Amino acid sequence: IAFSLGGNTSASHTTNWGDNNNSGMMQIKVEVGSEEDVTINSIDLRAFGTGNDKDGISLVSVYTDVESDGKIGLDDKISGIDKFNSDDSIINVGINQVIPLNTTKYFLITYKMSNKTSDGQTYYFELTSTKVSAASGKKITTSGFILKSATKTISGSPPAIVCSSYTDNATCGAQSSCNWCQIE
């Protein structure tokens, strides 16, 4: 079973602070030879970058990329989800996908970011290994590791919150003072 970057892997990119959409980080191409069907039980991803992966990435998702286009489409099915438990850690994402013999399949790995990021922080991962099995119990040989994802760089910062207060009855009514905050 051979693993490689798919032809529609995302290029390194910048994401605006607060953009919490699922965005593609890597497309994986998986090719199975002519001996027998192979099951990909899980994949191991190791986080890197200057941002804190536990706080900055709210969800890591693996999709079966049915259209092989490197984008989340209507026919794409989620195969596994996980979250980094600490900065620069390794997660083992269970996907349990059977790849029939003589078949090529594509998977898409996405990041959903949180609002706990800062301007200039970077996030990426490496696909370091997989756990695979064959129905016959034969040992399966894998190739193609280590695969590096696109790098996501955060641009911008949270909006400023400005608080004001008044102490006159005309503005605040019966209260002796009032405060409010607004996003600028």
Looking at per-residue confidence, does 169 or 125 come out higher?
125
pLDDT for 80-103, tens place per residue?
999 999 999 999 999 999 999 999
pLDDT more than 70, % of the chain: 86
| Count of CA atoms in the C-beta half-sphere (13 A) of 64 | 14
- Check residues 22 and 62 and name the one with the higher pLDDT: 62
* Closest residue by Cα to residue 132 from 167, 97, 181, 172: 97
What are the beta bridge partners of residue 103? 32
- Looking at the predicted structure, is the pLDDT value of residue 184 above 70? no
Whether 150 has a pLDDT exceeding 80, the answer reads yes
Q: What is the mean pLDDT of the chain?
A: 90
Query: Is residue 61 within 8 Å of residue 113, measured between CB atoms?
Result: no
Compute, in degrees rounded to 10, the torsion defined by CA atoms 162, 163, 169, 172.
90
Cα separations in angstroms, 44 against 60, 63, 125, 127, 182: 12, 15, 10, 6, 43
Query: Are the C-beta atoms of 84 and 60 separated by less than 8 Å?
Result: yes
Which pLDDT score, from 0 to 100, does residue 126 have?
Answer: 98
pLDDT at 180: 63
pTM of the model: 0.85
The C-alpha atoms of residue 45 and residue 76 are separated, in whole angstroms, by 21
Using the predicted structure, report yes or no on whether residue 71 has a pLDDT greater than 90: yes
Residue 170 has pLDDT above 60, yes or no: no
33/80 Cα distance (integer angstroms): 24
Instruction: Over range 56-73, report the average pLDDT.
Output: 95
pLDDT at 182 over 70: no
pLDDT at residue 40 in the model:
97
Please write the tens of the pLDDT for every residue from 16-39. 888 878 889 999 999 999 889 999
Measured CA to CA, the distance from residue 109 to residue 126 in angstroms comes to: 11
**Per-residue model confidence as pLDDT tens digits over 120-136:** 999 999 999 999 999 89
* Beta bridge partner(s), residue 163: 181
Residues in the chain: 184
